[in-house]
A and B are shown apart, each in its own frame.
Chain A
Amino acid sequence: MTYSDLSKPIDELIKSHGLPEREVYLDHENSGLIIPEALRAIDDAYRLSGKGHPSITHLMGWISYQALYEATVNIALAINCSPEEIVYTHSGTEANNLAIMGSSELSSKRKKIIVSSIEHLSVIFPAERLEKHGFKVIKVPVDGEGFVNLDFLSEHVDKETLIVSVAAVNHEIGTIQDIKAIRDIVRDKDEGILIHTDACDALGRIPLDMKKLDVDLASFSSHKVYGPKGAGALYVREGIKLEPIVHGQLSTQKLWPGIENIPSIIGFSKAVEIMHRNFKENVLKMTGLRERLINGILNSIDHTLLNGPFGHKRAPDNVNVSFLYCEGEALTVELSTKGIYVSSGSACTSRVLEPSHVLLAIGRKYEEAHGSLLMKVSPFHTTLDVEYVLDALPGAVRRIRSLSPIKPPRKVI
């Protein structure tokens, strides 16, 4: 990236776009708002406890260490584990990398890594990287709604398997996997296989109890639970020995050297605490907003497909719809001019538009993936927000479709 390329046009672009009168931010997949209490906690941390280094022996060090410990106890309470089982990283991406790369030196015999075909790239890429070091990566296929094919999994786990990694909730299509069933299949074959779940999008959306879930490793990301950016965590079950993947002077944690981002961790902890405390009402609220949004879109706009499952096996915040005959990136910009911020399932990274690997894995065609929008409601949205989106969407889709040389066929009634 060269900033000099950007600095001029981006200024003009922002001005030319203008500030919409009303805004509804639905791009919580990529990142989003921070809970005000968490922001306040961070502010306090920077001025008070976050000043020092938590591994140094003087008053400021002790205060920092205490603050870090209290934040960790809070998170441990929410997910039911012990504070010693939590390793902080600076993002969910890093937590997933630590789980996959950090386990790679555990055994010289286990050379197979099994992941689902719809994992986040922060699981898939480190796994693929290990292929260069003699590992074999198996991607378990999923069905049309994103559920992992358990028979395929069962056929492929064996004594050579190092780790099995499946996200509890898929980040794009909201599929809630049966992690306990996956765990049992794996353990029945061989108790020495590590089980990792990327729980970045599960925390605050489905009940998460590390004791009951009984996996070995689980990843979390602060900004995905309306905490600040700059903090992530890996749950590492007691007794599991990983190797660090970054190296340097240790601070309080063996697995992640360098200073902990204490203010962000404190904010993360506050966000987790609040999401945990309000879990039931949050889920109820998000589910209501999600259903209104999904039904509103499918009922008012022709040639639409819901991506991911309907109903209770879908994350309460996830809405992912393909608008056929409508290019997603254009629709994203069109909605932006109306103050609605969403993301599209295809990204223009090269000459061609790259469709999301998740949508391809559930059997969507390229053109169906290109027209997809991902929206995530939060407990902080109102029904009025959703109604505003439902008012604006049909017109936006109609306009983008009207530009295209290929028009949708008329529905025969």
Chain B
Amino acid sequence: MSSRVPLTYGKKVLELFRNPKNLGRMEDANAEALAGSLACGDMIAIYLKINELTEKIVDAKFESYGCAANIAAASILTEMIKGKNLQDAWKISWRDVSNELGGLPPVKYHCGVLAVGSLRRAIRAYYANRSKPDWLPEEFTQEEKHALEEEKLMETLAKRAQRTAL
């Protein structure tokens, strides 16, 4: 069991929590994805507008259900990928997100992981009915697996809790 200390994220997290950049749904997105769930206590939606010719991300938005770090991670990620081509956006890891936020506390690493997981899901969704580029791996990456595991784990736990209560 871990001890409890207050979460001390960098001030960048607090800034983005108060004034998130790129917040909101995007009606004309050509790729989007959702990761996490209400039961997990964190969920991130990423919306992308991609130029089909250049494969550059021309606009990115997010929505988030989660703690301040979760909101900031999704927001900063959308900032990081705007103007990037999809291959470079794919390469961004959860550590890059954490570093950009001034270092997430360990219990909040998963916020960065979930943000990246949902971005990669969106990129995969974009290629779902297009020819896949070489750089896109068949296998799920660590961040994508994490999102999947978290969703599954919570499903099981939530069911168990419902069974034992009352």
Contacts and interface: CB of A to CB of B under 8 A. Distances in A.
Interface of A: 1, 5-6, 9-10, 12-13, 15-17, 141, 143-144, 325, 327, 329-330, 333-334, 337, 346-353, 355, 360-367, 370, 403-406
Contacts of A367: 38-39, 41
B2 interface: yes
Contact of A348 (B11, B67, B154, B165): B67
A370 B36 CA distance: 14
B47 to A, nearest CB: 10
Interface in B8-54: 8-11, 14-15, 17-18, 20, 23, 25, 34, 38-45
Contacts of A325: 38, 65
Nearest to B41: A353
Given A16-B15, A337-B18, A349-B107, 16 more contacts: A5-B105, A9-B10, A9-B103, A12-B10, A327-B66, A327-B67, A330-B71, A351-B150, A352-B154, A352-B157, A353-B42, A365-B161, A366-B39, A403-B20, A405-B64, A406-B65
Interface residues of B, number: 52
Nearest to B103: A9
A150 to B, nearest CB: 15
7 shortest interchain CB distances as A-B pairs:
A353-B41, A16-B11, A405-B45, A405-B63, A404-B65, A367-B38, A329-B67
Given A352-B154, A353-B42, A9 B102 contact: yes
A12 B165 CA distance: 43
B166 A144 contact: yes
A9 B13 CA distance: 11
Contacts of A144: 166
A13 B9 CA distance: 7
Nearest to B63: A405
A15 B8 contact: no
10 contacts: A9-B8, A9-B103, A333-B67, A352-B153, A366-B157, A370-B39, A404-B43, A404-B63, A405-B43, A405-B63
Contacts of B102: 9
A141 B43 CA distance: 31
A329 to B, nearest CB: 4
B62 to A, nearest CB: 9
B99 to A, nearest CB: 13
Nearest to A347: B4
Contacts of A362: 165
B165 A363 contact: yes
Contact of B64 (A16, A141, A404): A404
Contacts of B5: 1, 6
B3 interface: yes
Contacts of A13: 8-11, 14
Interface string B142-166: 0000100010011001100110111
Contacts of B41: 327, 329, 346, 348, 352-353, 355, 366-367, 370
Contacts of A349: 1-2, 4, 107
A143 B10 contact: no
Contact of B65 (A327, A346, A366): A327
B23 to A, nearest CB: 6
Contact of A330 (B11, B23, B66): B66
B2 A350 contact: yes
B31 to A, nearest CB: 15
